[in-house]
Chains A and B, each alone.
Chain A
């Protein structure tokens, strides 16, 4: 079964440094999501793309976070500068279309530790 690929699996960075995460969704999936999950909590939606366009980034801290999906396929999430509170799991998910009956498929995430 096709999977959502994320890299790196783990990342340790010092505060004030820049960090980037990469996601390759399932082939043909038009909708891509980035979530942040703090330990013990449910995933929090950061940004949703439909093809290369941002559909929802209302919860993305835009002063330090940016996301792009230039060709409507893979995507990059960047944090600059990283803060201690950014330590979390960053999850990418994709779905075939932006329809309410289209399930999400998640990758296994990038575990970020900011020191």
Chain B
């Protein structure tokens, strides 16, 4: 199972953009990059996913490096409700998802 590396924690000021990095140097050509976030006492919530091209949705943007060995989740304007643990995960052809420890995002008012 391909592994990802994320910083343990990050801080952001409210209403400013947040860039959450993820390294996945052993990614294979068919692995999708997924991002999930988890609020306390809740199950993880899907945020966004992509393969090669950058992706945008109502929650966030995903920027994927040209060599696909890294990616960045972008929250355009952080709110207090965005404080959560963010997981970057690679999914293989069998749709198996292996979570790491994620990045704990603190949003400062």
- Residue contact A31 to B43, C-beta cutoff 8 Å: no
- Residue contact A55 to B94, C-beta cutoff 8 Å: yes
Tell me, in angstroms, the Cα distance from A35 to B98 when the chains sit together: 10
- Residue contact B97 to A45, C-beta cutoff 8 Å: yes
Q: Which chain A residue shows the least CB distance to B90?
A: A100
- Residue contact B94 to A103, C-beta cutoff 8 Å: no
CB distance from B42 to the nearest CB of A (A): 5
- Residue contact A100 to B43, C-beta cutoff 8 Å: no
A44 on the B face (CB < 8 A): yes
CB distance from B58 to the nearest CB of A (A): 13
Other 19 A-B pairs with CB < 8 A, given A42-B85, A102-B95, A103-B49? A4-B43, A33-B97, A40-B101, A45-B96, A45-B97, A45-B99, A48-B95, A56-B96, A91-B44, A95-B95, A100-B31, A100-B32, A100-B93, A100-B95, A104-B34, A104-B44, A104-B97, A108-B43, A109-B43
Interface residues of B in 32-47 (CB under 8 A from A): 32, 34, 36, 41-46
Q: Which chain A residue shows the least CB distance to B36?
A: A104
- Residue contact B95 to A42, C-beta cutoff 8 Å: no
- Residue contact A93 to B43, C-beta cutoff 8 Å: yes
CB distance from B92 to the nearest CB of A (A): 6
Tell me, in angstroms, the Cα distance from A44 to B102 when the chains sit together: 13
Q: Which chain B residue shows the least CB distance to A111?
A: B41
Tell me, in angstroms, the Cα distance from A56 to B91 when the chains sit together: 14
Q: Which of A56, A101, A107 contacts B51 (CB 8 A)?
A: A101
CB distance from A64 to the nearest CB of B (A): 22
Tell me, in angstroms, the Cα distance from A99 to B44 when the chains sit together: 19
**Across the interface, which residues of B come within 8 angstroms of A21, CB to CB?**
none
